[in-house]
Structure 1
Amino acid sequence: MSDGGASRVKVFISYSSADREFARFLDGSLAAAGVATFLAERDLKVGDSIPERIFGEIAAATSLIYIVSHASMRSPWVREELGVAKIRSMEGKGFGILPLLLDDVALPPSVSHIKYADFRDWRDATSYRKTMLELLRSLGGAPVLIGQRQILWYLDNLDALKFVKHALSVLHTRTDTAAGYFQWFNSWHWSVKYAAYDDDPPFLSAMDRLEELLAPVADGDQRLRALKECIEPAKKAVARGARDPGDRAESSRRIREVVEICARMLAILNDLEGDFEASVHAAIAARMDHP
């Protein structure tokens, strides 16, 4: 999306916690396109009045994305958010509800008349990208082909980017898994330390390498800027997560912070791969049409 179009869009993502992996990746893809989002697991702070904050964020949003799944159909919070969104949409001020189908389930009657985006095969990169582009068009954006300078940069640095993506995948997978196993103990920080500091590839080295790669090109592309802006928060999240705060609730918050930033960066990298491949193919086709 163009920077001007993106700046006017703010999306509230309504989802069940059971679908948080998809919600995190979706959030990363929207961030790469310059779309502002509200994601409860990240944006709700200790001390917030949950109903007041959620209703206020829906009121401030231009759209609500409703992730439709078996879990969200059973969630009282999701039903409440959808109800508030329906009231907003009836005000006739351009507010939209965008259903995203995640499971084989019938849409609720209140939104069954709305065309949905089919993300049931979202783990397949090609399918995810195709449906994501449809969603971005619904939000007023369009795919932007990448310039020659960025294409050459991408081709020159494919191996290094694969190294970075692998490091992120290792940290995300092991930290997310460890969070589940260690939720009954006071040692969550060890899962971050193990995956980020004591493993191969070393996460912090990968972040330093990514920072070097992006330095000459990030300012020329919204998606590359979004990726660059994640690097410092990722380093800080890992540093905090690897320290034992001596408090179980704080350990839980820190581990989620690491998982969330990794998911966002992986989503942006996945989108970049698709964008660059599409741009390369378009450039090749143009050259063949006009040799």
Structure 2
Amino acid sequence: MQTVAQTLLNHRSIRQFKPDEIPQATLDEVLHEAVVGTSSSGNLNSFSMIVTRDPARKRRLYELHGEQEFVLQAPLVITFCADWHRTRQWLRLRGACDNFNNFLGYQVAANEAMLISQSVTLGFEARGYGLCYMGTTLQAMGKIADYLQLPQTCLPITTIAVGVPDEQPERRERLPLRAYVHDETYREASTAELEDLYRAREESGWQRYMSMPRLRAMCEEGGITSLAQMYTSPYKYDPEAYAATSRQVLDALRGRGFLPEPPTDEAVPTPAG
């Protein structure tokens, strides 16, 4: 078992897995430790975890997650959900006021879903397993919620595919620590400081893209000449696609009861005469 420091320093996103199954006892142990050891607002634990192992059901998740092959390779897929449904049922059972079916409730539950996902991630990685987070969970939030039969005020936030690694990728670069840490108040970096902060990242990231024939061809075809341009191109995080996905997320929040329509004021009668 690795220490927390070792686990964090050894983290890699794994996208190739061996077919080895994860023992039920190991899964139970990791999830139990995560639930016990993760902070929660009011100890209400506003999250749920959907564990998927069935190959047919994993195939449907593979389709919903943009057909990423590692979803089929990994023996285990876990979807982390922002979930107030269970708590709201308990409130109703005890004659308490209903609550949390609002945007603040969503925000709290979404934060807790991410917190528990990181605890689960550390638990698996400390035991030598590898995994990959899937941001496509948000892009297909509504469809995933329907497929997993999630009730009102319950939505998927993130997903991990877990298994025995079948690759040893290089560690991805990060900006220097000073880019993230601010003393007392936020301090905006100057142009010169930004240039310095991003220089190594731009060089290594661009070299990595150019080393892949498919990505190099895409960049040449699209006239992309820098890492920053790639990140906001149609091939990566296209602003238009982001705007469309944002609308889909809002629709999912409304459809699952997290954004109830505001009450409309009754019409004020016009005085006669």
Larger helix fraction of residues:
1
Larger-Rg structure: 2
Shorter-normalised TM range: under 0.3
Larger RCO, structures 1/2 (Cα 8 Å, 6+ apart): 2
TM norm structure 2: 0.26
